[in-house]
């Protein structure tokens, strides 16, 4: 789970990393008061779980409380890369001398962690990484050893960071370990005009497997999540909303991923990823179908199941049940193959629902679902 900047800031502070004084609010009037308490000048920052807020106009340096109120009013409600801004953080401004980039990230390929650091941090870090990869140091971190001072010195040296950053590098590793994070990132980590090292922005991703230990961070209201995603999660479904029009349901992450590719190959865009998992029951299938059909963006649904542990007749049974519960208004294309496929197909054929058709192959099913979605979109 990703944290908001203000939550990351709080974690940093608890671990002794220097951060600006700051406070969060969802009201422009209160933003004015907070700015006053901070001394008048402030940085008003959108709190959304995505980067690039600065470039999107979601970070504004203001000169006085009145301007802070106006900036907050402007930023609240903004849409930044599909994320609605529901709160802003006001921070005491910092006089920036230099901007650095530092992060620790899980590196699945090596089975360890990577320290990534650059003396050219700030909003252009992606461009720096693309154009001058040598300006971004990547140092493997052995999780069993962690980042003692000697390692932090090596990281700082490799990236060309001043020695004053070493303490922050050690503490940031501590944040990662103690808070069960998969990623901690500070961009920019700044050196101020008076030589202090301050974390001006923070991104932290906690490991969902550690939720039970981090409950105080994981209590956010579901309002910020796609409500279908929370509904799916509550039913134990592996569902991710995407922005296309063909709903995709399959069993097994690999099969669902390739189904997304095949749909895209047919010139349509998948509306979601939904994996009903191995050994899925009729209940799970019905739940999955009901979630996907509730998405107003979905114009057609492709169910692609290869029965291994999952029996196709159970899937077919789930579809038949879901047809009673959800009463779909969108066409479904179903491809069943593998374990008990013949019985599954027969069940669906017997139900003979006017909106459900079957296809023999994955490619054929995807082509058909794509065509139905395009036809539905054109008809609107």
Binding site for Mn ion (CB under 5 A): 187, 201
What three-state secondary structure class fits 351?
A: helix
By CB under 6 A, name the one of 1, 37, 96, 255 that touches ligand GDP. Answer: 96
Under rule CB under 6 A, residue 10 binds ligand GDP: no
* Burial status of residue 70 (CB atoms within 10 A of its CB: 0-12, 13-18, 19 or more): middle
Among 28, 188, 270, 318, binds ligand GDP (CB under 6 A): 188
Residues 280/254, Cβ–Cβ less than 8 Å: no
Sketch the per residue contact string, 128 through 167, with ligand GDP: x for CB under 6 A, - otherwise.
----------------------------------------
Does 204 contact ligand GDP by CB under 6 A? no
Give residues with Cβ within 8 angstroms of 128, minimum separation 6: 118, 120, 135, 136
- Cβ atoms of 32 and 69 closer than 8 Å: yes
Binding residue for ligand GDP, selected from 52, 162, 163, 279, defined by CB under 6 A: 52
- Least Å distance, CB 42 to ligand GDP, is 8
* Cβ-based nearer residue to ligand GDP, 38 or 292: 38
Asked if 283 contacts 271 with a C-beta cutoff of 8 angstroms, the reply is no
Instruction: Answer with the entry of Mn ion, ligand GDP, none that 61 interacts with (C-beta below 5 to 8 A by kind).
Output: ligand GDP
Give the SS3 label for residue 205.
strand
Q: Is 120 in the site for ligand GDP (CB under 6 A)?
A: no
Q: How far is the CB of 8 from ligand GDP (least distance, A)?
A: 10
Q: Annotated active-site positions, please?
A: 101, 185
List the alpha helices (DSSP H) in 107-252: 125-131, 149-159, 166-178, 227-234
CA dihedral 358, 362, 363, 364 (to 10 degrees): -10
Residue 49 interacts with ligand GDP (CB under 6 A): yes or no? no
Task: Give the residue ranges of DSSP H helices in 294-361.
Answer: 312-326, 341-351
Min separation Cβ 23 and ligand GDP, Å: 14
For ligand GDP, the binding residues in 54-73 under the rule CB under 6 A are 54, 59, 61
- Least distance between ligand GDP and beta carbon 22 (Å): 10
For ligand GDP, the binding residue among 17, 23, 38, 51 (CB under 6 A) is: 51
Rule CB under 6 A: choose which of 69, 179, 201, 313 binds ligand GDP. 201
Instruction: Concatenate the DSSP letters of all residues of 149-178 into one string.
Output: HHHHHHHHHHHT--GGGHHHHHHHHHHHHH
Rounded (10°) CA dihedral 61, 65, 69, 74: -20
Q: Residue 55 or residue 178: which is nearer to Mn ion going by CB? A: 55
By CB under 6 A, how many residues form the interface with ligand GDP? 18
Residues lying near ligand GDP in the complex (CB under 6 A) are found at 43, 45, 51-54, 59, 61, 93-94, 96, 99, 122-123, 187-188, 200-201
């Amino acid at each position: 789970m990703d944290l908001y900047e203000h939550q990351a800031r709080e974690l940093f502070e608890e671990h002794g990393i220097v951060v600006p004084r700051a406070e969060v609010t969802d009201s422009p009037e209160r933003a004015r008061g907070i700015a006053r308490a901070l001394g008048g000048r402030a940085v008003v920052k959108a709190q959304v779980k995505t980067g690039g807020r600065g470039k999107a106009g979601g970070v504004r340096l203001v000169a006085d409380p009145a301007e802070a109120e106006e900036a907050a009013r402007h930023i609240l409600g903004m849409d930044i890369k599909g994320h609605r801004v529901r709160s802003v953080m006001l921070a005491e401004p910092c006089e920036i001398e230099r901007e650095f980039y530092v992060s620790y990230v899980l590196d699945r390929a090596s089975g360890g962690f990577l320290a990534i650091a650059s003396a050219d941090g700030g909003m252009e870090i992606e461009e720096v990484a693309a154009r001058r990869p040598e300006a971004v140091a990547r140092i493997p971190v052995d999780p069993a050893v962690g980042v003692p001072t000697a390692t932090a010195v090596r990281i700082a040296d490799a990236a060309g960071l001043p020695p004053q950053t070493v303490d922050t590098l050690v503490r940031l590793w501590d944040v990662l370990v103690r808070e069960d994070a998969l990623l901690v990132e500070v961009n920019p980590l700044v050196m101020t005009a008076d030589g202090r090292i301050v974390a001006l922005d923070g991104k932290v991703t906690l490991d969902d497997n550690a939720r039970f230990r981090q409950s105080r961070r994981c209590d956010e209201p579901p309002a910020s999540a796609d409500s279908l995603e929370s509904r799916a999660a509550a039913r134990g479904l592996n569902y991710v909303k995407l922005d296309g029009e063909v709903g995709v349901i399959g069993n097994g992450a690999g099969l669902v991923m390739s189904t997304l590719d095949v749909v895209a190959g047919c010139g349509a865009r998948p509306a979601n990823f939904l994996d009903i998992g191995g050994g899925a029951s009729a209940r799970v299938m019905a739940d999955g179908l009901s979630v996907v059909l509730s998405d107003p963006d979905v114009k057609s649904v492709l169910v692609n199941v290869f029965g291994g542990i999952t029996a196709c007749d159970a899937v077919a049974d789930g579809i038949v049940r879901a047809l009673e519960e959800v009463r779909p208004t969108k066409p479904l294309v179903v491809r069943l193959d593998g374990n008990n496929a013949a019985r599954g197909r027969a069940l669906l054929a017997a139900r003979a629902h006017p909106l459900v058709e079957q296809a023999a192959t994955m490619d054929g099913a995807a082509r058909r679902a794509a065509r139905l979605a395009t036809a539905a979109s054109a008809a609107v």
